[in-house]
């Protein structure tokens, strides 16, 4: 029995030491010296079938410096399967690209619409680059597919040319091993940044119970984390930058809005709505027979 208890004790101890203590850097609060832009987006699926989807998209950019500036854009994304491609059109949002995706790259057409939303967020950040020194995107800078990757690369390249910094801050991770790592990191006191290979994790308020993943170029990591500390004292989500709290709040699409937004799309889309309505009728008729 003693051997069993000793084994369990050693195993528990090893489970608690997933991180490398030498990979921590303590953070110091410093006065904010630049303009910081926070970007987030929200969406709601208004209608879909097996070969098309219509999403309403709301984007928000929140600039925080000496004064608060909020830039909000709204519009629609129509994703339509044509042969082996998914064509994507934007209505509003100040995105004028007409996209074409390979349908094999997506589980379904609605997933393609979500990628289009992410691209619209990235394009909003590109348009507002000149107004900020640091651009913070909600979520990871690690693209989910080659389409996001191309637009993220364009954003980062434009930022470099202008002497700006782009980063992404994620509340969650899809990597189970990093999920276990975070559960250990959160126990460490103080404000710090931790490097795990090419990824950083940060705790931005010493009283917070949350750790976030930070995607940023290594040479800017500590500087960016210390800048974000200045915005991470709001009691509604202690340790999370206030600019992202505001951007999420203003970009969120409520369920109760969907009826009005569907009618608005019908008015804006014009003739596009006619074939969508015909397809929806076919879906409804099939459902009635099921």
Helices (H) and strands (E) in the chain, counts: 8, 11
Higher pLDDT, 106 or 12: 106
Beta-carbon neighbour count of residue 202 at 10 Å? 27
Query: Tokens representing 151?
Result: 């637009």
More confident position, 222 or 6: 222
Q: What are the boundaries of each domain within the chain?
A: 22-260
Helix axes 271-289, 258-269, angle to 10 degrees: 130
Structure confidence at residue 4 as a pLDDT band (50, 70, 90): very low
Fold of the CATH domain 22-260? Nucleotidyltransferase; domain 5 (3.30.420)
| Better-predicted residue by pLDDT, 113 or 65 | 113
- The radius of gyration of the chain from alpha carbons, rounded to an integer in Å, stands at 22
Tokens of 208: 């917070």
pLDDT in tens, 230-289: 999 999 999 999 999 999 999 999 999 999 999 998 888 777 778 777 767 655 544 443
For residues 176 and 259, what is the distance between their CA atoms, to the nearest angstrom? 38
Phi-psi region of 199 (alpha: psi -120 to 50; beta: other; left: phi over 0): beta
279/91 Cα distance (integer angstroms): 20
Query: Residue 240 has which token pair?
Result: 């999370």
Q: List pLDDT tens digits, range 159-198.
A: 999 999 999 999 876 666 666 777 778 788 999 999 988 8
């Amino acid at each position: 029995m003693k051997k069993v208890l000793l084994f369990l004790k050693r195993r528990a101890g090893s489970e608690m030491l997933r991180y490398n203590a030498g990979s921590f850097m303590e953070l110091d609060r410093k006065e904010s010296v630049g303009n910081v832009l926070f970007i987030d987006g929200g969406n709601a699926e208004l209608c879909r079938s097996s070969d098309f989807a219509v999403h309403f998209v709301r984007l928000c950019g929140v600039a925080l410096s000496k004064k608060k500036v909020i830039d909000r854009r709204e519009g629609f994304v129509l994703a339509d399967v044509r042969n082996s491609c998914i064509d994507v059109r934007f209505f509003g949002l100040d995105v004028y690209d007409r996209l074409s995706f390979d349908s094999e790259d997506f589980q379904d057409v609605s997933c393609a619409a979500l990628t289009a939303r992410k691209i619209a967020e990235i394009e909003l950040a590109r348009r507002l680059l000149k107004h900020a020194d640091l651009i913070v995107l909600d979520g990871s800078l690690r693209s989910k597919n080659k389409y996001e990757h191309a637009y993220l690369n364009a954003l980062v390249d434009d930022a470099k040319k202008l002497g700006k910094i782009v980063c992404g801050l994620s509340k969650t991770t899809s990597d189970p091993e990093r999920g276990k790592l975070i559960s250990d990191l959160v126990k460490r006191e103080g404000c710090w940044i931790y490097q795990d290979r090419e990824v950083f994790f940060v705790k931005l308020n010493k009283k917070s119970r949350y750790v976030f993943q930070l995607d940023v170029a290594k040479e800017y990591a500590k500087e960016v984390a210390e800048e974000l500390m200045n915005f991470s004292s709001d009691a509604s989500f202690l340790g999370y930058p206030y600019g992202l709290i505001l951007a999420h709040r203003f970009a969120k699409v409520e369920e109760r809005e969907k009826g009005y937004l569907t009618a608005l799309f019908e008015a804006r889309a014009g003739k596009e709505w006619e074939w969508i309505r015909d397809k929806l009728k076919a879906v409804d008729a099939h459902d009635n027979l099921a």
